[in-house]
Amino acid sequence: MARDWSDLFILDGGAVDGPASPGEDAADEARAGRFRRLRESLRRTRQALTSEIQATLFEDLDDTTWERLEEALIYADVGARTTAKVVEELEREATQGAISGGEALRDRLTELLAGIARAGDDRIDLRPKPSVILVAGVNGTGKTTTAGKLAWHLSKQFGRSVVLAAGDTFRAAGVEQLERWAERAGVGFVKGAPDADPGAVAFDAIASARRDGADVVIVDTAGRLHTQDDLMAELAKVRRVIAKQIPEAPHETLLTVDATTGQNGLRQARLFSEAVGVDGLVLTKLDGTAKGGIALAIAAELGIPVKLIGVGERLEDLRPFEPLEYARALVGQ
Ligand SMILES: Nc1nc2c(ncn2[C@@H]2O[C@H](COP(=O)(O)OP(=O)(O)OP(=O)(O)O)[C@@H](O)[C@H]2O)c(=O)[nH]1
Ligand SMILES: [Mg+2]
């Protein structure tokens, strides 16, 4: 279960904290602060859900309770199938007398949602040297931003040397945008000639990382090509070219999903995971939506763990995903 950045990454010889390594008290404080911010960013989701859930708290648990709860969860984008599963379970437990009253219902709801959100191993293995992380996703979902934020964390908090690879060669602006992130994060940057082949850029970036002994290569990719098939074919090709440098690479394929796109996110996750394979999800723009529940639908239906969440546009607005904190924030506990 990833809580802190040091829990998210699997590092050589244990957690090698970088210069900003906090002491235990500071870590607790940081955790509390982070939780506050997560609650704040999920405020909209929570307000919608909480008012429904609060309304059910003081009623007898009857059909209306379950209907309202279902509506609230579907509104939060938890998805029909996952919602049905959760509510059926709660109803069953209530009938058996295991849940009585609203408080217990809320606790159990939180527990069930957290359990669903926890899908498989949600860590990122950084032991291979260099580790290659491929960032994929449809256009505008936050790939470039996530690549930049992640590079910054790896460099600042863990002292890792990082190379950002401008694999979105489809748009010149995309290359420049990543270059600005590399400057802000203070990490390496590799781009190709205009209209270069994205696979070739990734290949060069890995070659330069190996030459310079860099720890992590993060490859940004295009989100929009002429067709979706083109996009999947290009991603598959980038992967093949990367594997020519290091057969096990990319070690991690992260898919960015914009939390504000609701159920569309589930379709995207299915498409990418079938076409190129996805190791983990980055749920972005959680700060701007009442629909944060899509993480649950993706975890439940596709078994893809959420590893990171984006809660804003600043460097520090990327965090490891923590299922229980997330479920609590969602339910309003
Ligand atoms: N509020 C908020 N905005 C975000 C977050 N992540 C990304 N954004 C914004 O979303 C917009 C798109 O982000 P990009 O990183 O450019 O997305 P992309 O997937 O690289 O887009 P393409 O390269 O066009 O496919 C930018 O304006 C980002 O600042 C987030 O977590 N919260
Ligand atoms: Mg981009």
CA pair distance 139, 137, nearest whole angstrom: 7
Residue 20 has pLDDT above 60, yes or no: no
The pLDDT of residue 1 is 47
- Closest ligand 1 atom number to CA of residue 311: 31
Paired tokens of 161: 């040397």
Find out whether the beta carbon of 260 lies less than 6 Å from any atom of ligand 1.
Answer: no
Find out whether the beta carbon of 311 lies less than 6 Å from any atom of ligand 1.
Answer: yes
Alpha carbon of 94 to ligand 2 centroid (Å): 47
Average pLDDT in the 178-205 region? 95
Alpha carbon of 141 to ligand 1 centroid (Å): 5
Residue 293 has pLDDT above 80, yes or no: yes
Residue nearest (by alpha carbon) to ligand 1 atom 21: 140
- Closest ligand 1 atom number to CA of residue 138: 25
pLDDT digit string (tens) for 306-317?
999 999 999 999
Alpha carbon of 87 to ligand 1 centroid (Å): 34
pLDDT digit string (tens) for 90-145?
999 999 988 877 788 889 999 999 999 998 889 999 999 999 999 999 999 999 99
Alpha carbon of 253 to ligand 2 centroid (Å): 15
- Closest ligand 1 atom number to CA of residue 220: 20
Find out whether the beta carbon of 315 lies less than 6 Å from any atom of ligand 1.
Answer: no
* Residue whose pair of structure tokens reads 């990327």 in the numeric block: 318
- Closest ligand 1 atom number to CA of residue 141: 19
* Residue to probe by mutation, ligand 1, list 134, 139, 145, 313, most atoms within 8 Å of CB: 145
Alpha carbon of 240 to ligand 2 centroid (Å): 21
Find out whether the beta carbon of 140 lies less than 6 Å from any atom of ligand 1.
Answer: yes
pLDDT band at 290 (very low <50, low <70, confident <90, very high): low
pLDDT digit string (tens) for 40-89?
766 666 666 667 666 666 667 788 888 888 988 888 888 899 999 999 99
- Closest ligand 1 atom number to CA of residue 256: 19
The pLDDT of residue 19 is 46
Whether a cis peptide bond, with omega within 30° of 0, leads into 250 is yes
- Closest ligand 1 atom number to CA of residue 139: 25
CA pair distance 305, 282, nearest whole angstrom: 9
Residue 286 has pLDDT above 60, yes or no: yes
217 DSSP β-pair partners? 132, 163
Find out whether the beta carbon of 292 lies less than 6 Å from any atom of ligand 1.
Answer: no
Query: Do 154 and 164 contact (CB within 8 A), yes or no?
Result: no
Alpha carbon of 213 to ligand 2 centroid (Å): 26
Alpha carbon of 15 to ligand 1 centroid (Å): 30
Residue 287 has pLDDT above 80, yes or no: yes
CA torsion angle 325 326 329 331 (round to 10) = -110
- Closest ligand 1 atom number to CA of residue 224: 25
Paired tokens of 44: 């909209």
Per cent of the chain over pLDDT 70 is: 88
Nearest to 86 by CA among 51, 110, 60: 110
Alpha carbon of 140 to ligand 1 centroid (Å): 5
Find out whether the beta carbon of 258 lies less than 6 Å from any atom of ligand 1.
Answer: no
